[in-house]
Amino acid sequence: MNQLLNPNIFTFGFPALLAWTAAYSVYEPLTYLLIPAISESKTVKTYYDPKKIPFGVVVFGDYIYSTFLLLVAQVLITAIKGVAAPTGIVDWFQRFLMFVGVQWAGDLTFYNIIKNAPPLTRYIKFFQDYTSEVGVWAAIGDSVYGLFWFALTQIFASSVPAVIQVALISLFMFLSLVLSF
Instruction: Find the mean pLDDT for residues 59-87.
Output: 96
What would the mean pLDDT of 69-90 be, rounded to a whole number? 96
Q: How confident is the model at residue 181 (pLDDT cuts 50, 70, 90)?
A: confident
pLDDT (0 to 100) of residue 150? 97
Give the domain extent around 61: 2-180
The model's confidence at residue 95, banded by pLDDT at 50, 70 and 90, is very high
Per-residue buried b or exposed e for 115-138, using 16+ beta carbons within 10 Å of the residue's own CB: eeeeeeeeeeebbbebbeebeeeb
pLDDT in tens, 114-150: 999 999 999 999 999 999 999 999 999 999 999 999 9
CB atoms within 10 A of CB 68: 12
Total number of domains in the chain = 1
Report pLDDT digits (tens) over 6-33. 889 999 999 999 999 999 999 999 999 9
Of the pLDDT bands very low, low, confident and very high (cuts 50, 70, 90), residue 1 is low
Residue 73 pLDDT? 98
